[in-house]
Structure 1
Amino acid sequence: MTPALLHQVIEEGRQQGLRFTALFEEERCVAIAGWRIVVNTSAIRKLYVDDLSTAAAERSRGHGATLLNALSERGRESGCHSIDLDSGVQRYAAHRFYLRERMNISAHHFSRHLD
C-alpha cells in the first residue's frame, strides 16, 4: 500500500467510523488494529476489526492478545454484542491465534471482485 492510498483509506474510513488502536513499546509501534462499530440487522451492534497486525519480530509476545482484549472491552463499553473479524483462509497462524483467544468460526465470508 502506498502512502497516498493509506491516506485515502484513513480519510474515507474515518467518515465510516474507522478508528485505530495501537500498542507501543517506547517509541515503536509493535501492534495495531483498525476497527469500527457497525450496526446491522444480524448482529445489531458489533465491534468489527478491519485489520489486526503485529510486527513480525514481535509476534508470540502477547501483543495481539492485548489489543484484542482492549478492543473487546471497548466493544462492551459501547454496547456491542460481539467482536468480529475476517481472516484470509490461508492465514493458518492467525487462525490458531484467534481460536486460542476463544474466538469462534461463526460464518463463511463470500466476496466477488468488482472490475
Structure 2
Amino acid sequence: MSLIEELKTQEEIESAYPIMSQLRNHLSEKAYVELILEAQIKEQYRLFALYENEKIVAVIGFMPMITLYYGRFIWVCDLVTDETQRSSGFGEELLTFVHDWARKNKYNSVALSSGIDRKDTHRFYEGKMNYKKVSYVYRTTLN
C-alpha cells in the first residue's frame, strides 16, 4: 500500500535524492538539498514522496503561486517516478494528490512545464491527466 508524506527535514530531503536525481541529474546531492531548503523558505516549495512498501518510489515538488495569467495556482516543479517503477500509477497518484491539495487550499489550477524531448511524459499529462498545452516556456541563461 502506498503512502504520501511531505519531506521537510534535511534528512528526509536527502532520502529522496536517489529518485529526484533521475530527473535532475545535473545536481549534486549537496546542491539539491541546498536548493530545496532555500526554496522551502523563500518560495513555499513543498516536496512530497510516495512510499511503496516503505521505500520512496516517486517524488513531487510544487509551489503555490499567484500570477495575473493563472490567478491562484500550483506550479509543479518536479515530478519523477523511479525508473524501475514507471507506468505503475505512482505519477498519477502524486499528481492527483496535488490536485486535491490545490482544491483544499483554494487554488484554481495546476500547471507545469515538460522538456520538449519527453514524448512519453507528454502523453501521460495530455492523455491520462487531461492537461492542455497552453504556452511555450522560454529561458535564457545569464552570465
Secondary structure in structure 1 of the residue aligned to 2:102? helix
Pairwise mapping of residues 60-75 of structure 1 onto structure 2 (< 5 A)? 60-75=87-102
Amino acid in structure 2 at the alignment position of 1:105: K
Tell me the residue number matched to 1:3: 29
Structure 2 partner of 1:109: 137
The answer to whether residue 39 in structure 2 is matched with residue 13 in structure 1 is yes
State the number of aligned residues.
115
% identity of equivalent residues: 28
Q: Which runs of 5+ in 1 are unaligned?
A: none
Aligned mates of 1:20, 1:46 — CA distance in 2: 16
Give the equivalent residue in structure 1 for 2:3: none
Name the SS of the counterpart of 1:13 in structure 2.
helix
Determine the C-alpha separation between the residues in 1 that align with 2:100 and 2:63: 14
TM-score with structure 1 setting the length:
0.96
- In the alignment, the residues of structure 1 paired with residue 30 and residue 49 of structure 2 have an alpha-carbon distance, to the nearest angstrom, of 21
Structure 2: runs of 5+ lacking an equivalent: 1-26
Given the alignment, which residue of 2, 8, 32 partners 2:59? 32
Misfit runs of 4+, over 6 Å: none
Q: After superposition, what is the alpha-carbon deviation per residue over 1:33-90, rounded to whole angstroms, capped at 9, x for unaligned?
A: 0101001111111011001000001000100000111100101111111100010101
SS at match of 1:5: helix
Partner of 2:4 in structure 1?
none
- Normalised by the length of structure 2, the TM-score is 0.78
Q: Distance in 2 between matches of 1:30 and 1:52?
A: 11
Shift, 1:6, TM fit: 1.1
Q: Aligned equivalents of 1:95 and 1:73: distance in 2?
A: 21
CA distance in structure 2 between the partners assigned to 1:82 and 1:4 by the alignment: 32
- State the distance in 1 between where 2:32 and 2:141 align: 20
Q: CA RMSD in A?
A: 0.8
